[in-house]
Amino acid sequence: MPKILILGSGRDLDREHMLASVAAEHDVVLAQESLATWEIRYADSVHRIAADDLTSVLLLARKESVDAVLTWEEAWIETAAATTSALRLPGHPVPSARACRDKHRLHQAWAAAGVPSAQSVLVTDEVQALRAAAELGYPVVVKPRSGTGGTGVRLVRSPADLARAYAGAAGDDGALVQEYLDGPQISVESVLVHSGRLHVVAAGSRHVGPGPGLATASRLISVPQQAEHLASVRRAVDAAHAALGLCEGVTHTEVRMTADGPRLIGLNARLGGDLISRLVPLATGVDLVAAAVDTALGRQPRLRHTRRRTAGIIFRYGDTVEDTVPTSRPARLPDGVESLWTAPEAPAARFGGRIGHAIVVADDYTTCQVQLEKAYAALLPDFGSAIAVLPGSEPSASISDGTLVT
C-alpha cells in the first residue's frame, strides 16, 4: 500500500473527509503544527512539525520512505513543493508554489505574461494605500499579501473606510490594493498532470454576502452550466497556470466574468476550500481528493465525468464572531439536501464565523437554487437576521445550528 505524507490536516469540519479518503486506500504519515485530535483515527503516525521547518519534514519523509507528498493547507504549500523537489517526487516547483502563496508575486507573473487579471498594487503604509485606491478608482479590494480563506479581505467603497481595511490586511510585507471587478464570479477546479498538462474538471459560481468582507455565501457546481463558462474561461486559466510554471496537482482558480471577458482574481495550488471537494464529485462523479493523490503518486487520475448534476452549498454566518448558537437540528432534511451541518454551542469564530451550512444536489441549476433557499431556512430559522445570497433571487432571512445530518 503506498505511503502518503500529508502536510497539515486543517479543521475537521472542512478537511476530515479528505483525510478519511486518503487513509481508506493508503498508509498516512501526518505532519502538522498542532496536537493531533480527530486525525488520530486516520493517520498511522502523527508528527508535530512547524510548517516552515523543511529540514524536519525532509528527515521525516526519508525516514518513512514515503511514496508521495500532499497538502491541502495553504501554509504548507511551499514546504510541500520543496519536499517533492528534494525527493524527486511529483509536485510543483518551489518558485511556482511561492508565487501562489504570495499574491503580489502572483499578479506580477500574470501581468508579465499578459494574463487578463485584476490590477493589483503592493502598498506598505496607509498613505500608499490611499494613493493606489485613488489611481485604481473606488471601489477597491484590500487584501493581505498572503493568507487564505478570505481572512483580512475587504471591499472598500470610499477613502473613509480604507484605513480600517488596510490595518486589517497589512502584515510585515504590506498589503495589496486591487481593482474591484464587476461581474459573476466563477471558480474553476483543475488537475495538472505530466508536467503541466491542464484538465479542467469543474466550473462553478461563487456568490458573496452583503458585508465588506466578501465572505462566501454560496457556491454551485453545475455540469449542465459549464459549457457556457469553459469556452471563454479555459484560455485564461491555461495561461494563468503556464505563467506560474505549475506542474502536477489539483488547483483552484477564481475568475470574474467581466464585460470585457474573463479576468483572473486568484489561484491556489491545492484543493479548493468551502467543501468544493465534496461538491465536485456530487455534480460530476470526479473525486478531486483521489485525483490529488494520483498526481502526487505519478499516476493518471480518473477524470471522466460520470454524473451530470448540480451541487451547491450555502453558508449561514453569525451576526458577530462572538455569536454562540443553541444546539438543535431540523426534524427532517428538506428535499434535495445531501447533508446539513449546524455548529455546536461555541463562538462562531471557531468555525471561521460560520454557524451552519447545507449541501444540496439537484438535476439542474435552477432547482438547486430553490432547494438551497429551503435548506437555508432550515438552519435555525428563529436565530439572527443574516440573509441568504443566491443569484437571481431575493435575499431571505434565516440561520444555522450544531450537528451534521446526512
Give 176's pLDDT tier (boundaries 50, 70, 90): very high
- Kindly state the average pLDDT of the residues 140-167: 86
Of 24-33, 312-321, 340-349, the one with minimum mean pLDDT is: 340-349
Give one DSSP letter per residue of 82-93, joined into a string: HHHHHHT-SS--
Residue 25, helix vs strand vs coil: helix
- Say what percent of the chain tops pLDDT 70: 84
Each residue of 164-174: pLDDT tens digit? 999 888 888 88
pLDDT at 340: 78
184-198, 318-332, 346-360, 382-396: range with highest mean pLDDT: 184-198
Question: Where are the domains positioned within the chain?
Answer: 3-89, 119-179, 181-308, 312-406
User: Are the C-beta atoms of residues 354 and 316 closer than 8 Å to each other?
Assistant: yes
Of 207-221, 232-246, 264-278, the one with minimum mean pLDDT is: 207-221
Each residue of 346-387: pLDDT tens digit? 555 556 677 788 899 999 988 998 888 888 887 765 444 334
Of 8-17, 40-49, 141-150, 359-368, the one with minimum mean pLDDT is: 141-150
Of 158-167, 171-180, 218-227, 250-259, the one with minimum mean pLDDT is: 218-227
Evaluate if residue 392 carries a pLDDT over 50: no
pLDDT at 346: 56
Question: What CATH architecture is 3-89?
Answer: 3-Layer(aba) Sandwich (3.40)
The owner of cell 484590500 is 142
Radius of gyration of the CA atoms of the chain, in A: 21
Query: What's the pTM value of the predicted model, to 2 decimals?
Result: 0.87
Residue 160, helix vs strand vs coil: helix
Each residue of 70-116: pLDDT tens digit? 999 999 999 999 999 999 999 999 999 999 999 999 999 999 999 99
Of 255-264, 302-311, 348-357, the one with minimum mean pLDDT is: 348-357
92-96, 205-209, 327-331: range with highest mean pLDDT: 92-96
370 vs 375: CA distance, rounded Å: 9
Question: What CATH architecture is 181-308?
Answer: 2-Layer Sandwich (3.30)
- In the CATH scheme, what is the homologous superfamily, with its name and number, of domain 119-179? ATP-grasp fold, A domain (3.30.1490.20)
Pinpoint the alpha helices (H) of 8-76: 12-25, 54-64
110 vs 218: CA distance, rounded Å: 28
- Say what percent of the chain tops pLDDT 90: 61
Please, what sign has the CA dihedral across residues 226, 231, 232, 233? positive
